[in-house]
Amino acid sequence: MEKIGHYINGKRVAGTSGREADVYNPATGEVQAQVALASDAELNTAIEVAKQAQIEWGATNPQKRARVMMKFVDLLHRDMDKLAEALSREHGKTIPDAKGDVIRGLEVAEFCVGAPHLLKGEFSEGAGPGIDMHSVRQPLGVVAGITPFNFPAMIPMWKFCPALACGNAFILKPSERDPSVPIMLAELMNEAGLPDGLLNVVNGDKSAVDGILDHEDIMAVGFVGSTAIAEYVYSRGAANGKRVQCFGGAKNHMLIMPDADMDQAVDALVGAGYGAAGERCMAVSVAVPIGEDTADRLMEKLTPRVENLKIAPYTAGDDADFGPLVTKEAHERVKGYVDAGVKEGATLAVDGREFSMQGYENGYFIGGCLFDNVTKDMSIYKDEIFGPVLSVVRAKTYEEGLDLAMTHEYGNGVSLYTRDGDTARDFANRINIGMVGINVPIPVPLAYFTFGGWKRSGFGDLNQHGPDGFRFYTRTKTITSRWPSGIKEGAEFSIPTMN
């Protein structure tokens, strides 16, 4: 059986802690590998290696760092098929979806090629009598990322690409459920010219997370996962004086106005609600048709589409709409929420709980589930299910639909389908959610904007990638200079001013 260790100082190393976790094939339910869970000593070794390597890397000019990113992008294109196959094998998502996972990370690497421009400071000549002032952005040192199972390529690259481009060293603690791709990415970074020791992948569980949060040489931590853990990471990391950005759960609403193109809205709901088996923090999990007629038209078109979703292992290629859930525990949790929705009184229009595939009976497959007549007091509305379950909540008016999204505890993403520009403008201006789509179902910003939710979907002041990524992984230093010919004799005892 394959043994997956860590990646430290430019090479794969076996785990030495004696602790391991099973890595499953979600399509068959079989254990396909075992991943080492790091000890404190292994984590400390990776941090010390990173600390030493960062000194020279931080002094390397940004253009040379950018060239490493350029080469890394080329290598990602070269190895796209290999990365996607490894990702699908451990996660379960389809090959096209896996390639999308890699590409959205690749786009952040492309943005980081602009590091020389993004790291420029400011300068003011003659800010005072004979005084010049300038600012510079400098790396923090050693930083870390704790990333989730659902995007094992994209989110690690969202973290380590800007961090490295800024001159930091990086410790990556990926999910132990699908650990192969993060190590492959680290190998490609070294092949692209990144010096050894600057990107280390340490596999582990809560012990490794706590070790990162408590270590005095880790200056900043980025996290993506559930809200409960995001809040824990943020609180513990901040209490230890670290800069922390954490992104948690979501319950993304799509409002469908009476004037919306219903075919477009249904296409959007099917793709955004059921793609990747719903295991996306930007998945649409709540549809809010405005008015009974709109709701009836929506359900008439949506129900047969959900009934006819194609579910298959990743080896089926382009013939599958989505694959299995990632683990047996995830499968049981999602089925449990569907059971609860029925018990709470929602109408289960499409029931995918008993879906089974010949030859893959032990896989973690579940069919698409569609609820109608869901109310805001039900658990299937309040909680993040993270599975192929879509809830339709009927709203009588636009204001009622808007209120649903605005009063939910999560504020990651939201979308509106309409032909009316006034409604769209009002919606975009008033909604208290971080990422908004107008006739766009999954409003994930491109790499040169920033990604981040509001309310209990995000903790911290700065978002992921885009300009915020460079701000998060650097600190500003401001220098005020005056030379002897401009200095008056005698001590000055009052605070300097412009008077």
Euclidean distance between CA atoms 368 and 270, whole angstroms: 10
Catalytic residues: 281
- Phi-psi map region of 105: left, alpha, beta (phi>0 left; psi -120 to 50 alpha): alpha
